[in-house]
Structure 1
Amino acid sequence: MSVIAITGSASGIGAALKELLARAGHTVIGIDRGQADIEADLSTPGGRETAVAAVLDRCGGVLDGLVCCAGVGVTAANSGLVVAVNYFGVSALLDGLAEALSRGQQPAAVIVGSIAATQPGAAELPMVEAMLAGDEARAIELAEQQGQTHLAYAGSKYAVTCLARRNVVDWAGRGVRLNVVAPGAVETPLLQASKADPRYGESTRRFVAPLGRGSEPREVAEAIAFLLGPQASFIHGSVLFVDGGMDALMRAKTF
């Protein structure tokens, strides 16, 4: 069976996915700050290097799947942390593990993005250009100047979605499919923290999809597992919304 690495494996979507894949017989390498096979802080260059090196050691340089699920939300301590984890924590793992993936069997990678990437104005945030240019110091500086974690979150998820779509030719040349899953509200500790936050609680509680509820982590995990598997063999560079219809509600004429 496949060997698949998952960042953010200790809770939420990552934990649900790890359980789902392990139950199906896959070997899963979990990465998180704690309670994981590999403990690493993806907010720092050193932590990312540690994670990449440890994954390569465990998989022997051959990896069949990668899911970049680790992320922080609007209740993060500061906007710079959001950018560091949500964008650079992803781009470093993709770069560092691309060669190992190219040696895998029907390899695929999935980035967990967000419906927040479609937030009006996200594409025009100056921090987005800095992220896509790979300038972490400048991106963090611009995010801190903006000073609003919800904008940093939207910008980071927009940028990481662009990153995936910009790399379709390069990754196809390696024989690796790369896609994005964009959840809406998911019943995770991250969402609960947002609901309890005095700044964002009311708007978070009002963010209800047409299906009338938030998703369970397992429901997003099932979509990710599909994109990793052979049934999705011709899906590449796509964004799959797993949001209960929220994107369609908000952007009926844009797709």
Structure 2
Amino acid sequence: MVMDHSAPQASRPGAAVVTGGAKGIGFAISLELARRGYAVVVTGRDQAALDRATRDIRAQVTDARVTAVPLDVTSSASVAEAFAAVAEFAPLSVLVNNAGVIARRPAAELPDDDWSRVIETDLSGVFRCSRAAFPLLAQHGGGAIVNVASIAASVGISGRVAYTAAKAGVEGLTRTLALEWAASGIRVNTVAPGWTLTEMVESGIASGQLSHDALVARIPLRRLANPAEIADAVAYLASPQASYITGQTLVVDGGFCINGNA
């Protein structure tokens, strides 16, 4: 009898769904998870952006397993349809709740419609997608959910009252889901990015709405984050290396929130 002493091949990771995964931080997360071998499901409402994201991932990652699924996180019907498609693609291992919008108006002037739009997307959307992912994760013995919040959950930001409220809600939702779903082997954590060089921030700097120098002056590391650095944090919390971490928030802000001298 001939014994085979070769090392067993590691199984490939399952599917990773990234909401809002076609642009900015979301695209960086989709790309990093593809590099780590996940079968990435890029979701969002902009079909052209979804097509571009999947094309770019295939161009940068050899043998990438990636598909695009339209998803409106404010619609329970859309969420159900999207996760049914995920179940056909690959066994679900990871959900990253990244989709989000912002309404920039002073609290006293914010219309109900803008408040509802932000809460429905940034908070209720996280709940809807997590609820839809639960049975898919549980049936395979568990997995990881990583919610993308913001330092806005911890500090006040003028003109973004709905956004800050929603992101604080995401952190509370994270802790409760982590508690309820631990018995099913599902870990739930949050990444809270600080100021990051996304297209939105770069546009704000170019238009004069944001001051790059003023932002950097408040960050002890004296620079804004690169989207890839946020993606690394998300990928870590999704990975087996974080197998004993749940219900936590990982702040990735260059020290912004600890700077009492700002």
TM-score computed with the length of structure 2 as normaliser? 0.76
Aligned position for 1:207: 215
Contact 1:113 1:161 in 2 (8 A): yes
Aligned position for 1:48: 79
1:14 aligns with one of 26, 38, 58 = 26
- Deviation of 1:99 after TM superposition, in Å, equals 1.2
- Deviation of 1:25 after TM superposition, in Å, equals 1.9
Q: Deviations over 1:89-116 (max 9, x none)?
A: 1110000111111233661110000000
Aligned equivalents of 2:260 and 2:77: distance in 1?
39
1:39 aligns with one of 70, 76, 92 = 70
Contact 1:75 1:149 in 2 (8 A): yes
Q: Deviations over 1:29-74 (max 9, x none)?
A: 1111123310122233333333233223333xx3111101111124
Q: What secondary structure, in the 3-state scheme, does the structure 2 residue paired with 1:42 have? A: coil
Q: Deviations over 1:185-228 (max 9, x none)?
A: 11112323544677xx2478633321111101100000111111
Aligned position for 2:99: 70
Q: What secondary structure, in the 3-state scheme, does the structure 2 residue paired with 1:207 have? A: helix
| Structure 1 unmatched runs, 5+ | 123-147
Superposition pairs of residues 132-171 of structure 1, within 5 angstroms: 150-171=160-181
| Structure 2 unmatched runs, 5+ | 1-11, 51-67, 106-112
Contact 1:168 1:236 in 2 (8 A): yes
Report % sequence identity: 34
Q: Structure 2: which amino acid aligns with 1:57?
A: E
- Deviation of 1:9 after TM superposition, in Å, equals 1.0
* Larger RCO (CA within 8 A; separation ≥ 6): 1
The answer as to 2:36 corresponding to 1:24 is yes
The structure having more radius of gyration, on CA atoms, is 2
Aligned position for 2:89: 58
Q: Structure 1: which amino acid aligns with 2:33?
A: L
Q: Deviations over 1:219-239 (max 9, x none)?
A: 000011111111111111010
Aligned equivalents of 2:214 and 2:77: distance in 1?
39
